[in-house]
């Protein structure tokens, strides 16, 4: 504990002894200190934080306060706080502002890069509690969205949302095994056949999904995506790309196994990093190619790698010719 404490003190004290540092350099010191705190928390509470019974109890106690904060902002329709954190993390979720903001960020990227419009037939793999579905409800025609997820509690928030019900958006449960989110799952991701017809969707997208999957699982998902997307359609997804290195001022991936690097050696799926070439090669096997990008996210917290996207993770877009 003494070592961690000294590291934090050094990281925070550094700007004081170097007052001439530039803003990017100051940001580096601040982010290093925050990362030390986060790593300490991970050691104390391994795995998904909301699964800890004490934290879960606190989150649920905050639900009515969160609602009172959201209603004056016009965000009363969002899922409750203790549900939002299940698929979006605890950081910055209170009050709903960031939940709504980044749902619209992804919606805007889909419109700009994948040419999403009101007629688009869309599939979201890993829809969670509806962060992006809520944003797309303002754009898509009735019935033009399908969301699927492996986590029943988060998915139930979508199924009971009046706004999403009014839009006739469809939501389905995928009983795929995941040691954190669905430990009793019936199917393996590496062998799962998606229950949709060939060439059924104009756009398929996944946000914070491949960041939690190992290579064999991703390979099968990509095979199925290429089957389900229409000709001239698109697949957009987020990832942690290690093209710029695996050790950053933000999240780092010190462990390695085959095609990927990962953050946690015991539970690799907590956070996984790949080279962009892995995705390019996998999509190429099934007739899809990189349409643009990658768009670089802000997760590295590196002042010398400028993000090209408002979203924290890197974004890749593939198209089927």
Asked if 228 and 290 sit in the same domain, the reply is yes
Which domain CATH number covers 242? 3.40.50.150
For the chain, how many structural domains are there in total?
2
Any domain includes 299: yes
Q: Is residue 131 in a domain? A: yes
- Is 14:33 a contact under the CB 8 Å cutoff? no
Which residues lie below 8 Å from residue 90, measured CB to CB, with a gap of 6+? 49, 50, 59
Q: Is residue 57 part of a domain?
A: no
Asked if residue 58 belongs to a domain, the reply is no
Q: Looking at the structure, tell me whether residues 132 and 270 fall in a common domain.
A: yes
Q: What is the pLDDT of residue 51?
A: 65
Residue 118 belongs to a domain: yes
- Do 107 and 224 lie in one domain? The reply is yes
Please tell me the predicted confidence (pLDDT) of residue 35: 47
The model's pTM is: 0.82
Assess if residue 51 is contained within a domain: no
Mean pLDDT of successive 10-residue stretches along the chain, which has 321 residues: 35 37 47 45 52 78 90 92 82 87 95 96 96 96 94 93 95 92 92 96 97 95 98 96 76 86 86 94 97 87 84 94 82
pLDDT at 49: 60
Q: Give the tens place of pLDDT for each residue, 129-181.
A: 999 999 999 999 998 999 999 999 999 999 999 999 999 999 999 999 988 88
- What domain range includes position 293? 97-320
Asked if 260 and 124 sit in the same domain, the reply is yes
Residues 115 and 24 in one domain: no
What's the pLDDT score for residue 101?
92
Q: Tens digit of pLDDT for each residue in 267-284? A: 888 889 999 999 999 999
29 and 101 inside one domain: no
């Amino acid at each position: 504990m003494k070592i961690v404490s000294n590291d934090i003190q050094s990281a925070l004290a550094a700007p004081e002894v170097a007052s001439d540092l530039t803003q990017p350099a100051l940001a580096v010191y601040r982010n290093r200190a925050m990362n030390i705190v986060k790593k300490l928390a991970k050691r104390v509470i391994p795995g998904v934080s909301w699964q800890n019974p004490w934290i879960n109890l606190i989150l649920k106690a905050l639900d009515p306060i969160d609602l009172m904060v959201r209603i004056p902002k016009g965000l009363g329709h969002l899922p409750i706080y203790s549900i939002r954190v299940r698929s979006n993390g605890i950081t910055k979720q209170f009050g709903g502002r960031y939940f709504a903001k980044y749902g619209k960020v992804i919606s805007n990227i889909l419109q700009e890069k994948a040419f999403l419009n009101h007629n688009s037939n869309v599939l979201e793999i890993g829809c969670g509690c509806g962060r992006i579905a809520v944003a797309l409800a303002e754009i898509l025609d009735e019935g033009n969205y399908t969301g699927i997820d492996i986590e029943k509690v988060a998915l139930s928030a979508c199924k009971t949302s009046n706004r999403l019900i009014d839009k006739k958006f469809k939501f389905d449960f995928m009983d795929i095994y995941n040691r954190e989110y669905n430990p009793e799952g019936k199917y393996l991701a590496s062998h799962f056949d998606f229950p949709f017809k060939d060439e059924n969707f104009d756009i398929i997208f996944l946000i914070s999904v491949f960041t939690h999957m190992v290579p064999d699982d991703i390979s099968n998902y990509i095979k199925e995506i290429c089957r389900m997307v229409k000709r001239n359609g698109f697949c957009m997804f987020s990832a942690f790309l290690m093209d710029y290195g695996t050790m950053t001022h933000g999240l780092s991936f010190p462990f390695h196994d085959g095609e990927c690097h990962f953050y946690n050696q015991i539970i690799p799926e907590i956070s996984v990093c790949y080279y962009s070439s892995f995705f390019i090669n996998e999509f190429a096997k099934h007739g899809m190619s990189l349409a643009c990008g990658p768009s670089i996210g802000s997760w590295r917290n590196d002042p010398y790698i400028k993000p090209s996207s408002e979203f924290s993770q890197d974004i890749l877009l593939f198209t089927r010719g």
